[in-house]
Amino acid sequence: MFTLVGVSHHTAPLALRERVAIGEQQLPAALATLREQVGPSAIVSTCNRTELYASGAHDERELIRFLAERSGVDAALIERHAATRRDVEAVRHLYAVASGVESMVVGESEVLGQVRAAFSAAVTAGSDDALLSRLFHTAIRTARRARNETRVGAGALSVSTIAAQQARALCPDPRRATVLVIGAGEAGRLAAESLAERGVRTLLVTNRTHERAEALAAALGGEAVDFAQLPDTLSRVDVVIAASGAESALLSRGDVEAAVARREGEPLVGVERDGAAIDGRWR
């Protein structure tokens, strides 16, 4: 038996999803607390969903209370936007999530790695059991079969490449554009690759760990920028794509306004991929 409680882009607004999201650094402690309060569990938390998978039959209010306590969001608000599934429905849902069917961009491939990472984190935290192990292993196998035996992934795009396309739409001639990608993880890599394929004039990459930015920039013929110079770099770029899982804003509204002022009327386009990296939107 399984109990699933979670919020996603299907059920909850972005502001709520951002508040209940559980970052990679928070995951071990969150899993330990969830196991203590509920029992063997796994957490799938991406930019568009946070879902708790608990082994056994549980009152969904237990899981909602866990999300409320760790996020500071009122439990009644979470309950209004949460979806609960049990047993076979929970299994089918995870299979659909892993296969990309439930994604914002249907058929995207990133989510399979995120589901695999979620189960790996549960194992590392000692929060798994035989039922969860079977659930996640069969979900991963099902997702592989779906991609190999159906057209669910045919021509599929990721949210990162959609962000790159949006930037291209707002800045039609990439050969004249200087683009900054914030974040050298999987999402940042996909966005940067998409931009490089479109022939941007200059591709800049920055990341908290400078070595990762250097590696990605070198692979794509770009330039790594020191993370500490991020606010100053804004004034010399045309497009910014934020693909960071940062829990707080990396760029303030003041940073953006100062950069725009130095550009003397030249537009600055911002596209955000993963949540709270930019304080405010601009165009």
**Which residues belong to the active site?**
47
Q: Supply the DSSP symbol for 12.
A: S
Per DSSP bridges, beta strands 41-45 and 49-55 are: antiparallel
Dihedral over Cα of 30, 114, 18, 228: its sign = positive
Q: Where are the beta strands (DSSP E) in 1-74?
A: 2-8, 41-45, 49-55
- The CA distance from 261 to 11, in Å, is 39
Q: Distances in Å between the alpha carbon of 128 and those of 3, 39, 123, 141?
A: 14, 9, 5, 18
What the block records as the tokens of 245 is 């899982």
Closest by CA to 36, choosing from 54, 57, 13, is 54
The rounded radius of gyration (Å) of the Cα atoms in the chain is 20
- The CA distance from 123 to 28, in Å, is 10
Per DSSP bridges, beta strands 223-225 and 202-206 are: parallel
List 85's β-bridge partners, or say none.
4
- The CA distance from 253 to 3, in Å, is 41
Per DSSP bridges, beta strands 41-45 and 223-225 are: unpaired
- The CA distance from 198 to 191, in Å, is 11
Closest by CA to 47, choosing from 126, 213, 163, is 163
